[in-house]
Amino acid sequence: MLVLVAPGQGSQTPGFLTEWLELPGAADRVAAWSDAIGLDLAHCGTKADADAIRDTAVAQPLLVAAGLLSASALGDIDPGAVAGHSVGEITAAALAGVLDDASALSLVRKRGLAMADAAAITETGMAALLGGDPEVTVPHLEKLGLTPANINGAGQIVAAGTKEQLDALQADKPEGVRRVVPLQVAGAFHTHHMGPAVDTLAEAAKALAPADPKVAYVSNKDGRTVASGAEVLERLVGQVANPVRWDLCMETFKELGVTALLELCPGGTLTGLAKRALPGVTTLALKTPADLEAARELVAEHAA
């Protein structure tokens, strides 16, 4: 069984969309999305520098656009399940048919702007902890006032909080943690610091008409598959201020009988986690269009 996954914020790099825009019809499609949401996605994905695309209001719609563009380049595929990490959940919702592309881009644009506004209230950030035991790490983070915002499995937890709290973590790592790596994000996502963004998204969601997923949709909230489009949308709103449980998503992949995991552009992070947490599962990350041929072969072998 094939699982199709979409990466989250921090996976973007300057110029990563350049080669994708050379595919037939891609530039026109991205131009239409750009006009609809008031953001030049082509410029952001080809010419903008690292600081510009680190901006939450830019990074989030850019990542969803890249995921949708790379998925369409694969052609008709029939995955057994879809999932996304953090903002990647909006990409996954579109792939599952819960939202159309236009609604997904509109929602993520509002999400990015709302989270950027929330992040501006207090100087906050996130850092990945490599190694360690979650039973030791999580209480240690909470002692420092930090939130385990992403529990990613494969020995990785992402902490989120204020600059002062993250500085304290660097000086006082949990036992067993090898490194604490600051992430290229502009806020403490999936924590109480994002509370104001939840209210904004809840209002935006009222204008949408979600359909029920056409394939198994695996949710960040608890790793559970969600069959109701209305519940998917409700979870998309709430997850902004609640932890991402990617570890539980991967456990569900196992239960569903995953044999291959394909990560959409800009791929790499989620396949890296899967290689450690899902031994025996074939993984492939879409980074450039040069990966499409291998991806189609993987789809042909493992899709439903």
Catalytic residues: 86, 190
Tokens of 48: 């903008």
Residue ranges of E strands in the chain: 2-6, 81-84, 124-131, 147-153, 156-162, 177-182, 216-218, 225-226, 260-263, 282-285
Return the closest-CA partner of residue 107 out of 120, 126, 89, 95: 89
Tokens of 214: 């056409």
Please state whether 99 falls in left (phi above 0), alpha (psi between -120 and 50) or beta: beta
Residue 226's DSSP bridge partners are 217
Q: What are phi and psi of 120, to 5 degrees?
A: -75, -15
- How far is it, in rounded angstroms, from Cα 155 to Cα 153? 5
